[in-house]
Every structure is written in C-alpha cells, then in structure tokens.
Amino acid sequence: KAGVTQTPRYLIKTRGQQVTLSCSPISGHRSVSWYQQTPGQGLQFLFEYFSETQRNKGNFPGRFSGRQFSNSRSEMNVSTLELGDSALYLCASSPGSTNEKLFFGSGTQLSVL
C-alpha cells in the first residue's frame, strides 16, 4: 500500500498570504488528522476529519481550517499567514476507529517570510 502523501513538500510564502496544503491518506483509511510541528512547541493537534466531518479541533485560531473530500483526501488552509505559522505540517491517517495508531506523511515544510 502507498503511504500517506502530502503535497507540496516545501512551500515559501509571505506574510498576509494564504496557503493550501494537501494530504492523500492510505487507501481505505477514512480518518485524516493534521498536526503542526515547531521546534518550540513540538507536535500540536490541529483537527481531525472522518467521512467529511470534523470530529475534533485543536486550539488554533480560525485562520486554520480544513476539509475532507468524499475520497478521504484532505486539505488544510491557513489564511493571513503570520511569521509564527512557519512550521512542518504533518498529516496522518488511520482507518477511523478509536485509539488506532496514526500513519504520518513526510509533511509540508512551510516558511513564512
């Protein structure tokens, strides 16, 4: 099986712009989660989607949003980028039941200048 695929791998944006990141989960996985990794804060939960519905959301401002499509692919969007949004954004998928291990993609490295 192919793993979790995230595109693009690297992204450079300027303050005030918006960005969309994409994630294709492992075939058959219906749950997609997004995490932000920064050197100071570690990995922090953004949100989780299952069957196109957001089931849980982390403590991030409304500038961070996401969605999931009927084929389980997911996108996350960050509007009005700030310097502090520079981070590695990781997508993870799982079949969707509780307490399952997550399978992570390699991430999108976002740099905001």
Partner 1 sequence: DQQVKQNSPSLSVQEGRISILNCDYTNSMFDYFLWYKKYPAEGPTFLISISSIKDKNEDGRFTVFLNKSAKHLSLHIVPSQPGDSAVYFCAASEGSGGSNYKLTFGKGTLLTVNP
Position 68 contacts partner 1 (CB under 8 A):
no
Type of residue at 25 = P
Q: Nearest to residue 46, comparing CAs of 63, 55, 37, 59?
A: 59
**Judged by CB under 8 A, which of 84, 106, 111, 113 binds partner 1?**
106
Residues in binding contact with partner 1, number by CB under 8 A: 26
Contact segment (CB under 8 A) with partner 1 among 14-22, 31-39, 60-68, 75-83 equals 31-39
Position 112 contacts partner 1 (CB under 8 A):
no
Position 53 contacts partner 1 (CB under 8 A):
no
In DSSP terms, 48 is beta-bridged to 33, 56
How far apart, in whole angstroms, are the C-alpha atoms of residue 1 and residue 19?
A: 29
